[in-house]
Chains A and B, each alone.
Chain A
Amino acid sequence: MRYTRSSTMLSVAAIAVLALSACGSDTDSSSDGGGGGDTEAVIVVDGSEPQNPLIPTSTNEVGGGAILDLVFAGLVSYDADGKSQNEVAESIETEDAQNYTITLKEGQTFTNGDPVTANSFVDAWNYGAAAKNAQLSSYFFESIEGYDEASAEGSTVETMSGLEVVDDQTFTVKLAQPESDWPLRLGYSAFYPLPAVAFEDTAAFGENPIGNGPYMFASDGAWQHNQQIELVPNDEYEGPQEAQNGGVTFKIYQNDTTAYQDLISDNLDVLKTIPTSDIKNFKNDLGERSIESPYAGNQTIAIPYYLPNWDGEAGKLRRQALSMAINRDEITEVIFSNGREPAKEFTAPVLDGFNPDLPGSENLEFNPDEAKKLWEQAEELEPYDESEPLTIGYNADKGDHKTWIEAVVNNIKNNLDIEVSGKPYATFKEARTDATDEKLTGALRSGWQADYPSLYNFLGPIHATGAGSNDSRYSNPEFDEKLTEGLAAESVEEGNEMMNEAQEMILEDLPAIPLWYQVAQGGWSNNVDGVEFGWNGVPLYYAITGK
């Protein structure tokens, strides 16, 4: 998950003064950098209730992620385009992509006055990885040497052997194998530092987190559950992400439709997702105050290899036929009013290394004649078992998937003359359980939103053998090897080349059928200015000013 910013170094003296004057919620100092907007205004934005205590390693959903990204600052951060830049880190150095030496900027502090040291990171990461803490995002540390021992079920090991503190400002990281894109991940929330107080009482800390980011909690209890979370600027923070407003209040909504009513009556300043029912008219309602901004997310349909019709050579031909039978252009235009972009490959256009013209991308183009031909070829190899007609599963509790699933189903039905139907799961967990237990009886839709801006994040966790989100149970040693090679490449550019070579394989095999890329559709009220969305579809909250 997301964020942008680099920071300038504070001198030790300046920090001492600031620490003494401490952290009131008055905001009349600093930050006059904006374009003349009102930098005192408190911005009210939509949010959703964080599902877990606000501890970086136990937050795995966007509601909590948005708060953490404002309250904490990591070693690196991402700018609006998803470029990674040093944030708390002074430097991240390596010679072999396996041993990293990380030096921190001096004089960084948490909002309780504690300095940000090497231990703040190492302790937080060890806490996140150790099995006994059961942190939801523990697998983010899997590359670090010693992760396996610390994270094994029932393990009592509390530290990863690959982490070593050199001095207050320096620590070293040894990875289990070379990975050149590893520093890219360090801006994700799981890698944020924690002050010592966090480990004394994690539950209390999760209610009132203390961070080192551009914002902080307005007061103890600023998180009014299911109602709002009030953040005020952290005056000690200096950097490009510095608050251009007098605070950000996340108002928690149960559904987007309600939030939209608040937006058009100026009771809400920024809405990051326009509800499906208003997609057709939000540009009319809001005019200049609306935005469409592509971000690093996509929608696919995974087809498990353990289904009889979809394995082997015939299965591959059928997958290609299915993909070519779907008219992505028409669906994105008609159903989403161009609020999605037809997919050309497996990642997302905002990423570094994205290439829409990879060999095999023609498999994602609408071509009903070719689709029919491929299907017939498959029939010759192995007749389609009609007793198990294809279903496309989706969860009916969150997001509005039914409409587009039906459109896809109709495309396939009409162009291939086979029996297909949508299969609604009442809840998300039901769908996930079937996927995890290999009990899917058909395909399953799956959306992926990048954690950090890298091609690998769309390939490894979903299509590598045995990966956590590999719903199709695809297993291709050559593909796995290409990914490993790509990770070990000397530069990110070289790595991207290999990632795209790996993509060529899955564009042939189609373990999942890419449909489209996500586009953030949002809007803002008459009271604010300067609303822009980042690479991950989240507004750059710090840059918003009042009018």
Chain B
Amino acid sequence: MTWYIVRRFLQMIPVFLGATLLVYFLVFSLPGDATAAICGDRGCTPAVVAGLREQYNLDEPFFIQYLLYLKGVLTFDLGTNFSGRPIATIIAEVFPTTAKLALMALVLEAVFGIVFGLVAGLRKGKLFDSSVLVLSLVVIAVPIFVLGFLMQFLIGVKLQWTNPTVSGDATFTELILPAVVLGLVSFAYVLRLTRTSIIENVNADYVRTATAKGLSRKRVVVVHVLRNSLIPVVTFLGADLGALMGGAIVTEGIFNVNGVGNTLYRAVLNGDGPMVVSIVTFLILIFVLANLLVDLLYAWLDPRIRYA
């Protein structure tokens, strides 16, 4: 088990190198000169452009630029973005907010998705099941920004239960609405996954055996049906954490959350290579860690799975 975890961590090194190289290359290949974004409408004098290119290593060929960046990373210096701010500081500012938002969304979608899915699965074909299915279909079909603006307008502007936007402090109560919007689509998927999985397992032999043994209905459902049905759901949730962290661009935009998605979006527009690569690398690390966690959860959910 320990060896397995160590091996997985070692595997992260080539993932890190490959991902940074690839992303750096993609940003490098974006059309347009990065100094043009800094200089704006008015443009700068050639001397200023030359100064900027030197300051951000833009005058070097691609591979040297990448190696300089890598050297910085290995000495714990991520450099500065095109506004002259340390990238490490920016990441420290925005990651906690987005992590909070993503975790809240994940908890919401997991709890509600599994509970609703379980109930729907056990009452297959009944009214509750059918209405939940229709509802989840609607949620999946309607684009997320429509839902976002709609909920912002109803709850924030009309009912005034909460502020329409999130302040700089990004408190727990402020983040509830964005988290609901962010987790909504995944909630529908979790619900449907759980439901299907439950329906499959409810008729399995071991469940009939458990019932025949005289176990209470509650124990049969929770310990035998649900636990075995969670494997696909956990896989989905693990992958979803990464998506929630990096894919919150739309939701963060609607609710003015100062998070990873917004920062990444701006950095891409400005061709700010080191900034984009640093954020994406962090996201990749989170993704890899989440996947490792999922793999370890498998063993707990299904004792037949062993790692060595």
Chain A positions near chain B (C-beta within 8 angstroms) = 50-53, 60-61, 131-139, 151-155, 203, 206, 224-228, 252-255, 257-259, 261-262, 264-265, 267, 397, 425-434, 436, 446-449, 461, 468-469
Contact indicator A227/B258 (Cβ below 8 Å) = yes
Which of A155, A255, A432 is B32 in contact with, Cβ under 8 Å? A432
A428-B269, A447-B41 as given contacts; A51 in contact with B83, CB under 8 Å: yes
**11 more A-B residue pairs beyond the given contacts A138-B44, A253-B256, with a C-beta to C-beta distance below 8 A:** A53-B83, A61-B40, A134-B47, A136-B48, A138-B45, A154-B50, A226-B263, A258-B164, A427-B269, A432-B37, A446-B41
A sample of 18 cross-chain residue pairs with beta-carbon separation below 8 angstroms, ordered by A number, consists of A51-B38, A51-B82, A139-B42, A225-B85, A226-B93, A226-B258, A228-B168, A257-B149, A261-B156, A262-B163, A265-B156, A265-B160, A265-B164, A426-B31, A427-B37, A427-B271, A428-B36, A436-B33
- A232 CB, nearest partner CB in chain B, Å: 17
Most buried by B among A153, A255, A265, A468: A265
Contact indicator B45/A261 (Cβ below 8 Å) = no
Contact indicator A469/B32 (Cβ below 8 Å) = no
Closest chain A residue to B249, Cβ basis: A254
Cβ of B84 within 8 Å of any chain A Cβ, yes or no, is yes
Residues B1-51 near A (CB distance < 8 A): 30-34, 36-48, 50-51
Cβ of B132 within 8 Å of any chain A Cβ, yes or no, is no
- B247 CB, nearest partner CB in chain A, Å: 16
Going nearest first, the 5 A-B pairs with the smallest beta carbon separation are: A134-B51, A227-B168, A430-B32, A429-B37, A432-B36
- A438 CB, nearest partner CB in chain B, Å: 13
Contact indicator B48/A134 (Cβ below 8 Å) = yes
Contact indicator B42/A461 (Cβ below 8 Å) = yes
Chain B positions near chain A (C-beta within 8 angstroms) = 30-34, 36-48, 50-52, 55, 82-85, 90, 93-94, 149, 152-153, 156-157, 160, 163-165, 167-168, 252-256, 258, 262-263, 269-271
List A contacts of B271 (CB < 8 A).
427, 429
Contact indicator B84/A136 (Cβ below 8 Å) = no
Which of A133, A252, A433, A469 is B41 in contact with, Cβ under 8 Å? A469
- A129 CB, nearest partner CB in chain B, Å: 10
- B59 CB, nearest partner CB in chain A, Å: 12
List B contacts of A258 (CB < 8 A).
164-165, 253-256
List B contacts of A265 (CB < 8 A).
156-157, 160, 163-164
List B contacts of A131 (CB < 8 A).
47-48, 51
A226-B258, A254-B262, A469-B42 as given contacts; A203 in contact with B48, CB under 8 Å: no
- A152 CB, nearest partner CB in chain B, Å: 6
A258-B164, A429-B270 as given contacts; A152 in contact with B43, CB under 8 Å: no
Contact indicator A397/B269 (Cβ below 8 Å) = yes
Contact indicator B36/A436 (Cβ below 8 Å) = yes
Complex Cα distance, B85 from A447, in Å, reads: 29
List A contacts of B31 (CB < 8 A).
426, 430, 433
Contact indicator B165/A261 (Cβ below 8 Å) = yes
Contact indicator A153/B47 (Cβ below 8 Å) = yes
Complex Cα distance, B84 from A151, in Å, reads: 21
Contact indicator B45/A468 (Cβ below 8 Å) = yes
Contact indicator A429/B33 (Cβ below 8 Å) = yes
Which of B33, B83, B153 is A261 in contact with, Cβ under 8 Å? B153
Closest chain B residue to A228, Cβ basis: B168
A153-B47, A461-B42 as given contacts; A433 in contact with B93, CB under 8 Å: no
List A contacts of B152 (CB < 8 A).
261
Contact indicator B93/A225 (Cβ below 8 Å) = yes
Interchain Cβ contacts within 8 Å, total number: 152
List B contacts of A261 (CB < 8 A).
152-153, 156-157, 164-165
Closest chain B residue to A426, Cβ basis: B31
List A contacts of B37 (CB < 8 A).
427-429, 432
- B154 CB, nearest partner CB in chain A, Å: 11
List A contacts of B256 (CB < 8 A).
253-255, 258-259, 262
- A451 CB, nearest partner CB in chain B, Å: 8
Complex Cα distance, B253 from A259, in Å, reads: 11
- B177 CB, nearest partner CB in chain A, Å: 12
Complex Cα distance, B46 from A253, in Å, reads: 32
Contact indicator A153/B50 (Cβ below 8 Å) = yes
List A contacts of B32 (CB < 8 A).
425, 427, 429-434
Complex Cα distance, B45 from A137, in Å, reads: 9
Closest chain B residue to A431, Cβ basis: B32
Closest chain B residue to A432, Cβ basis: B36
List A contacts of B160 (CB < 8 A).
265
Which of A51, A134, A264, A425 is B52 in contact with, Cβ under 8 Å? A134
List B contacts of A60 (CB < 8 A).
39-40, 42
- B8 CB, nearest partner CB in chain A, Å: 35
Contact indicator B168/A206 (Cβ below 8 Å) = no
List A contacts of B45 (CB < 8 A).
138-139, 151, 468
A52-B83, A227-B258, A261-B152 as given contacts; A135 in contact with B48, CB under 8 Å: yes
- B258 CB, nearest partner CB in chain A, Å: 4
Complex Cα distance, B41 from A461, in Å, reads: 11
List A contacts of B167 (CB < 8 A).
227
Complex Cα distance, B49 from A151, in Å, reads: 12
Which of A153, A206, A264 is B84 in contact with, Cβ under 8 Å? A206
List B contacts of A134 (CB < 8 A).
47-48, 50-52, 55
Complex Cα distance, B255 from A428, in Å, reads: 24
Complex Cα distance, B270 from A151, in Å, reads: 26
Complex Cα distance, B44 from A60, in Å, reads: 10
- A416 CB, nearest partner CB in chain B, Å: 29
List B contacts of A228 (CB < 8 A).
168
Contact indicator A138/B48 (Cβ below 8 Å) = yes
Complex Cα distance, B164 from A424, in Å, reads: 32
Closest chain B residue to A133, Cβ basis: B51
List A contacts of B165 (CB < 8 A).
253, 258-259, 261-262, 267
Complex Cα distance, B41 from A448, in Å, reads: 8
Complex Cα distance, B38 from A428, in Å, reads: 10
Closest chain B residue to A261, Cβ basis: B164
Contact indicator A225/B38 (Cβ below 8 Å) = no
Contact indicator B42/A53 (Cβ below 8 Å) = no
A134-B51, A265-B157, A436-B43 as given contacts; A429 in contact with B168, CB under 8 Å: no
- A312 CB, nearest partner CB in chain B, Å: 27
Complex Cα distance, B219 from A146, in Å, reads: 87
Most buried by A among B36, B50, B84, B149: B36
List B contacts of A253 (CB < 8 A).
165, 256
List A contacts of B30 (CB < 8 A).
427, 430
Complex Cα distance, B35 from A428, in Å, reads: 11
Closest chain A residue to B157, Cβ basis: A265
List B contacts of A53 (CB < 8 A).
83-84
Contact indicator B164/A267 (Cβ below 8 Å) = yes
- B81 CB, nearest partner CB in chain A, Å: 10
List A contacts of B258 (CB < 8 A).
226-227, 252
A225-B90, A265-B164 as given contacts; A433 in contact with B44, CB under 8 Å: no
Contact indicator A432/B39 (Cβ below 8 Å) = yes
Closest chain B residue to A253, Cβ basis: B256
- A254 CB, nearest partner CB in chain B, Å: 5
Complex Cα distance, B36 from A430, in Å, reads: 8
- B39 CB, nearest partner CB in chain A, Å: 6
Complex Cα distance, B93 from A255, in Å, reads: 20
Closest chain A residue to B257, Cβ basis: A254
List A contacts of B33 (CB < 8 A).
429, 432-433, 436
Closest chain A residue to B160, Cβ basis: A265
Complex Cα distance, B41 from A137, in Å, reads: 12
Closest chain A residue to B255, Cβ basis: A258
Most buried by A among B41, B90, B262: B41
- A220 CB, nearest partner CB in chain B, Å: 15
Most buried by B among A53, A425, A429, A447: A429
